[in-house]
Amino acid sequence: MLKYIQLELRRNNIRTYIIASMIIAIVMLGFLYLLAYAPKLEPSDKDLEIFLGYHNLIPLFGVLNMAAFCVLSAVMYSKLIVEEYSGKRTILLFSYPVSRIKILFSKLSVVGIFTILSMSSSNLMIYLIFGITENFLHLVNEAFTAVNMLHAIKTTLVMAIVAASIGIIATGIGFMKKSIPTTIITAVLLASLMCNIVANTTSSMMFMYLFSLVIIFIGMLFALGLVHKVSQMEVE
């Protein structure tokens, strides 16, 4: 399987997505400062209290970053799966003397691993930069401790897997329609739903984790569904 993953990396220009993930990281760093500074704009505004403290800020930023990488994941899945298994490209793909399932799993693995690693590494860098600058900016009314960092890492890992899972779900729907726009729009809608849920449940992290597990489980089901559809496909 590792050889097939390496072949997929050679066939597809992943450098473009690396640059995209770096741009997302820079933009999201700015968003983190904005979210942290928001309560200081109107101290009397109770609606802005949702951004107070790291117990609120970390999950909100985590799900916002997840939405960005979710869309990136959907774009990659669209390129590697929806587009590849559409039209005349399918004939070329099925002409390879390799199992269809192995090819599909290699494509799913490339995007899934890339999404998780890129989001995790960018978030780690963002939190490190933010934690260091907080020593003299003091945007948040509490210190950025090791406990906060562990909370951020845990939330990041969960959100990264959710981003990859939503990408698979969106791909499954886009695959049925043979439509790249459908894939991306579905990813945006699902990410928006996740953002709304987290924004309303920051006081209960357990509910966020449970909902994340549901998304991951559904993503696994869609991945199995894609395997079944590809194995049963007939070249027209």
Residue 79 contacts residue 27 (beta carbons within 8 Å): no
Write the CB contacts of 165 (distance below 8 Å, at least 6 apart in sequence).
215, 216, 218, 219, 220
Strands (E) across the chain are located at: none
For the segment 168-174, the average pLDDT, to the nearest whole number, is 91
For 73-129, the pLDDT digits (tens) are: 999 988 888 887 776 666 666 666 667 777 888 888 889 999 999 999 999 999 999
For 181-212, the pLDDT digits (tens) are: 999 999 999 988 888 887 777 666 777 788 88
User: Would you state the torsion angle of the CA atoms of residues 132, 135, 139, 142, taken in this order, to the nearest 10 degrees?
Assistant: 110
Residue 139 contacts residue 192 (beta carbons within 8 Å): no
Q: What residue segments make up the domains of the chain, in order of their start? A: 2-232
Chain-centroid distance, C-alpha 99: 28
- What's the longest Cα–Cα distance across the chain? 67
For 23-71, the pLDDT digits (tens) are: 999 999 998 998 888 877 776 767 677 777 788 888 888 889 999 999 9
Does residue 14 carry a pLDDT above 90?
no
User: In which region does residue 143 sit, left (phi positive, over 0), alpha (psi from -120 to 50) or beta (all else)?
Assistant: beta
Write the CB contacts of 157 (distance below 8 Å, at least 6 apart in sequence).
116, 120
Residue 212 contacts residue 162 (beta carbons within 8 Å): yes
Residue 8 pLDDT level (bands cut at 50, 70, 90): low
Residue 62 contacts residue 175 (beta carbons within 8 Å): no
Between CA 16 and CA 37 the distance in angstroms is: 32
Encoded tokens for 47:
């609606």
For 131-165, the pLDDT digits (tens) are: 888 888 888 888 888 888 898 899 899 999 999 99
pTM above 0.85, yes or no: yes
